[in-house]
Chain A
Amino acid sequence: MLKIQHERILTKVRKKVGYLTALLIFLLLTLGPFLWTFILSVTPEYAMLEKTPGLLPETVTFDNYRELLTADTPRGGLLITGIGNAIKAVCAALTLGIPVSMLTAYTLSRMEFCGRRLIRNLLLITMVIPVMATIIPLYRLFVARQWLNDVFWLSMVYVSSYLPLTTWLMSNYFATFPKELEEAARIDGCGLLSSFLRIILPASYPIILSAALIMFLNTWSQFQIPLILASSLETKPVAIVVSEFMTKDSIQYGLTAAAGIIAVFPPALAALVFRRFLISGMMNGSVKG
């Protein structure tokens, strides 16, 4: 009896130790680089190249943060505007992207028609197209139509690059709803619209939220597209601003590091607040009933 109990405690301890080790490795690998970047961001510039094995700087300075978080300084102003611009682009991309993805996913997963497979495959295959393959003609198109530095059209380009993924995730989700549900609603006299609104929409908010979060995170990290299509002060996102702290003769590691840390905050916050929906949306609908 005692022995069994003893063994149980032992496995419990072992499990706990195993978990804690995994936790430690996980935190180290995920947060480590951020932590190191943070340390660099508070290290004075001249101490950065010193060849000491010490990990922590002798003097700590928060000047970089002070400069970047004050809107009056040129760099601070740039960074703050950049964050604002990125948020604008995220909003626009979501407003445009979610409805289109839903419509497409709904149609592709729940309707039978000629060429369904072909359209679906054509859409999915565009995932492999690199930005570089489209950027020059896109630029010319944007010039001809005067779309440069326009958040709406910039976001449209983002949407076109997320559509395959979000459509695919959403249609996987929609596909798991039993057909009878919708049919029953249809018999009750609901039109396509109201059956969509009453049956599909309420059940799919998790996938909508996870698609939204995916779009948010992806938009946040866009670089090449806005660089070519929207790099005016009014539209350039924070990713470009950060990279500009590091060009030619003015490499300022501390400042770049600090800017990188600040720039990660908004998406981190979003991920934290909406973490619950991150997964639930991608789980198969059927299982959850």
Chain B
Amino acid sequence: MNILRKKLLPYLLLTPMILVMGVLVFYPITATFSYSLKRWKLTSPGDIHFIGLQNYSSILESDSFWYSFQNTLFILTAVVLLTSVVGFLTSIFLHIEVKWSGILLAIAMLPWALPPYVNGILWKFVFSSGYGFLNKVVIGLGLAGQPVEWLNSRRALLLIVSLVVSWRSIPFTALVCLAGRQSIPGGLYEAARIDGGNRYTIFRRITLPLMLPFVAIGITSASVTAINVFDEIIALSGYNDLGANLLVESYLTTFSFLDFGKGSALTYLVILFGTVLGGFYLRSMNKEVDY
């Protein structure tokens, strides 16, 4: 009895989680997978049937998929780089103790609370070509006579999208890194100083390696955010082909062109991509830190 109880207890404790995740995550994604194997266009309701992997193959053959995939990759790389570097730097900055540290921390968290769509609108105010903030500054300083069109090329657009998304995802990374920084026992630094380490070696030997796992958390969350960027792109450039990533393409296919089968297949490819990436991160997550 006792042994059985001990064996079963963990599963019982996990039941709420399993129920929640089962009903609200695993069931829906299974259903979506079954949609992705069907020809299912809402505009021809009489013609819904199983077609195997045809949706997938037609997606993989289309140019627009690979174009959007490149955009997704670009955003992913840029957001991860920006978020981890700036997030790390912000955490170092926030670690410096001053009277108003707490307030600075609260300010740093502000962008996090912004709904992505509102975030996009906020930055559209900055980058838009007519009344945009940046143009007023650029013209005011005499750097350009004409308003600059910031969102007019693929690269610029993607860069700006990445910037805007990073802005929203930096707070979390900074927070995690700050927690990591503050977890490092002060004794380690004292010992290093007694051993005659200079600031650079202390940073390289102690701060950086001990904070890396926390940076990894930040990178993970930034990657997830970056793959799932949607609202910011729409707010900044609408359903412009230039900046479309996989999710925009999937939204268009599903909700705009009403092809549920193909749209579901597209989201599945996004999940697949994320899982490959996630599997890679899972390893780093399962590691633990020793001081």
Which residues of A does B touch, CB under 8 Å?
A: 19, 22-23, 26-27, 29-31, 33-34, 36-37, 40, 48-55, 99-100, 103-104, 106-108, 111, 113, 116-117, 119, 121, 123-138, 140-141, 156-157, 159-161, 163, 165, 167-168, 172, 175, 192, 214, 217, 220-224, 239, 242-243, 246, 253, 256-257, 260, 263-264, 267-268, 271-272, 275-276, 278-284, 286-287
User: In the docked arrangement, what's the CA distance between A54 and B135, Å?
Assistant: 10
B20 at the interface (CB under 8 A from A): yes
Contacting residues of chain B (135-154) with chain A, CB-CB under 8 angstroms: 136-137, 139-140, 147
Residue picked from A33, A37, A140, most chain B C-beta under 10 Å = A33
Contacts A33-B122, A260-B121, A268-B106 given: A133-B114 contact, CB under 8 Å?
Answer: no
Is the pair A138, B231 in contact by a Cβ cutoff of 8 Å? no
List 28 contacting pairs A-B, 8 Å CB cutoff, sorted by A.
A22-B93, A27-B107, A30-B107, A33-B167, A52-B136, A55-B137, A103-B16, A113-B7, A125-B279, A126-B25, A129-B271, A133-B264, A137-B27, A159-B20, A163-B21, A192-B9, A220-B115, A242-B115, A242-B118, A243-B117, A260-B121, A267-B112, A275-B102, A278-B175, A282-B179, A283-B182, A287-B183, A287-B184
Residue of B nearest to A56 (CB): B136
In the complex the two chains form, what is the Cα distance from A163 to B271 in whole Å?
18
Known contacts A128-B224, A268-B110, A287-B185; decide if A141 and B28 are in contact (CB<8 Å): yes
Residue from B27, B176, B221 in contact with A282 in the complex, judged by beta carbons closer than 8 Å = B176
Count class of interface residues, chain B:
35 or more
Binary interface encoding of chain B residues 80-118 relative to chain A, with 1 for a CB under 8 A from any of its CBs, else 0? 000000000010010010100011111111111111111
A284 to B176, CA, bound (A): 11
Given A36-B125, A123-B21, 18 extra CB contacts under 8 A:
A27-B107, A29-B167, A33-B126, A53-B139, A55-B133, A113-B11, A121-B282, A127-B221, A130-B227, A132-B250, A134-B32, A160-B24, A221-B112, A242-B118, A268-B110, A271-B110, A272-B106, A279-B105
Residues in B with CB closer than 8 Å to A133 are 28-29, 32, 264, 267-268, 270-271
B244 within 8 A of A: no
Complex interface: chain A residues within 8 A of B25 (CB):
126, 129, 134, 160-161
The residue in chain A whose Cβ has the minimal distance to the Cβ of B137 is A55
Central interface residue in A37, A165, A223, A271, by most chain B CB within 10 Å: A271
> In the complex, what's the smallest C-beta–C-beta distance from B38 to chain A, in angstroms?
12
**B282 and A124 contact, CB distance less than 8 A:** yes
Q: Tell me the nearest residue of chain A to B11, going by C-beta.
A: A113
**B102 contacts A26, C-beta separation under 8 Å:** no
> SS class of chain B's interface: helix, strand, loop or mixed?
helix
B27 touches A223 (CB 8 A): no
Is there an interface contact between A136 and B260, defined as CB atoms closer than 8 Å? yes
Q: Is the CB of A278 within 8 A of B109?
A: yes
Tell whether B197 is near chain A: CB-to-CB under 8 Å.
no
In the complex, the chain B residue whose C-beta lies closest to that of A251 is B121
Contacts of A217 in B (CB 8 A): 109, 112-113
Contacts of B98 in A (CB 8 A): 19
Nearest A-chain residue to B102, judged by Cβ: A275
Q: Which of B55-63, B200-208, B283-291 forms contacts with chain A? A: B283-291
Is A106 a contact partner of B13 (Cβ separation < 8 A)?
A: yes
CB distance from A193 to the nearest CB of B (A): 11
Contact B227 A128 (CB under 8 A): yes
Docked CA distance A132–B270 (Å): 10
Q: Are B111 and A124 in contact (CB under 8 A)?
A: no
Which of A214, A260, A268 has the largest count of B CB atoms less than 10 A from its CB? A260
What's the Cα separation between A221 and B182 when bound, in Å?
28
Choose among B10, B130, B133, B247 the residue that contacts A132 (Cβ–Cβ < 8 A): B247
Any chain A CB within 8 A of the CB of B68?
no
Are A36 and B133 in touch, CB under 8 angstroms?
Answer: yes
Flag if B125 contacts A104 (CB, 8 Å).
Answer: no
Chain B min CB distance to A154 (Å)? 11
Q: Quick one: closest A residue to B142, CB to CB?
A: A53
Please indicate the chain B residues that have their CB under 8 angstroms from the CB of A276 in the complex.
Answer: 102
Q: Are A132 and B17 in contact (CB under 8 A)?
A: no
A160 adjacent to B21 (CB under 8 Å): yes
> Of B118, B179, B282, which contacts A260 at CB under 8 A?
B118
Residue in chain A with minimal CB distance to B231: A223
CA distance A124 to B277 in the complex (A): 12
Q: How far is the CB of B163 from chain A (nearest CB, A)?
A: 10
Nearest CB of chain A from residue B135's CB, rounded to whole Å: 8
| Choice from A55, A104, A127 contacting B220 with Cβ under 8 Å | A127
The answer to whether B125 and A239 touch across the interface, beta carbons within 8 angstroms, is: no
In the bound complex, CA of A121 to CA of B286 (Å): 9
